């Protein structure tokens, strides 16, 4: 691939990552904010935690479900200036995002846990909102939020980056080489 073609391909990947990121940067739904605030969570904290959750889940989806291994890094690269602007406006926001991102990735790395990955991510969301030991109902609602967010991110990923298309009569492993 020549330099010009490589530059154009990189530019197209950046455009797609930016479009996908636009889906992740949308303000959380008012109903979700109201639900989290109803658990005695201060509304700005509820908005922050739901925003962090959407971003983290979107990055996880880009990492795990994308067709191209570069997609997650392209999305993270597009997210970095957004986080930088937010951190310069509110000093603690960058640190809080870093802590939450590590908590989300650690929750997925746990093995041998009987809880689903979505439930573990829901616990991170609730913990960030100040609910360390949630009862069954808030945990179920937070898990529902995680599942909905993952499905929406996955749909956006397919819409922006495309869907894998394999021939029906050939095994995927036979396509290597």
Asked whether 47 and 93 are in contact (CB, 8 A), the reply is no
Which pTM value belongs to this model?
0.86
For residue 175, what pLDDT is reported? Answer: 61
One digit per residue, the tens of pLDDT, for the chain of length 177 reads 688 888 888 888 889 889 999 988 999 999 999 999 999 999 999 999 999 999 999 999 998 887 777 888 899 999 999 988 988 888 788 889 999 999 999 999 988 889 999 999 999 999 999 999 999 999 999 999 999 999 999 999 999 887 766 667 777 666 665
Contacting residues for 109 by C-beta, under 8 A, at least 6 apart: none
For residue 32, what pLDDT is reported? Answer: 97
In a 13 Å sphere around the CA of 93, the CA atoms on its Cβ side amount to: 18
Asked whether 150 and 61 are in contact (CB, 8 A), the reply is yes
Q: Where are the domains of the chain?
A: 3-160
Q: What is the DSSP letter of 168?
A: T
For residue 177, what pLDDT is reported? Answer: 53
């Amino acid at each position: 691939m020549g330099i010009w073609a490589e530059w154009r391909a990189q530019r197209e990947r950046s455009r797609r990552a930016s479009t996908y990121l636009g889906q992740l940067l949308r303000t959380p739904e008012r109903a979700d904010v109201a639900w989290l605030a109803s658990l005695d969570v201060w509304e700005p904290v509820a908005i922050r935690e739901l925003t962090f959750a959407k971003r983290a889940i979107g990055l996880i989806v880009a990492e795990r479900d994308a067709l191209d291994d570069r997609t997650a890094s392209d999305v993270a690269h597009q997210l970095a200036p957004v986080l930088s602007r937010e951190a310069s406006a509110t000093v603690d926001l960058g640190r809080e995002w870093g802590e939450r991102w590590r908590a989300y990735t650690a929750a997925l790395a746990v093995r041998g846990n009987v809880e689903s990955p979505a439930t573990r991510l829901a616990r991170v969301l609730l913990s960030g909102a100040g609910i360390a030991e949630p009862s069954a109902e808030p945990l179920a609602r937070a898990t529902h939020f995680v599942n909905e967010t993952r499905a929406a991110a996955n749909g956006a990923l397919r819409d922006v980056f495309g869907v894998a298309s394999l021939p029906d009569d050939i095994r995927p492993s036979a396509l290597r080489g």
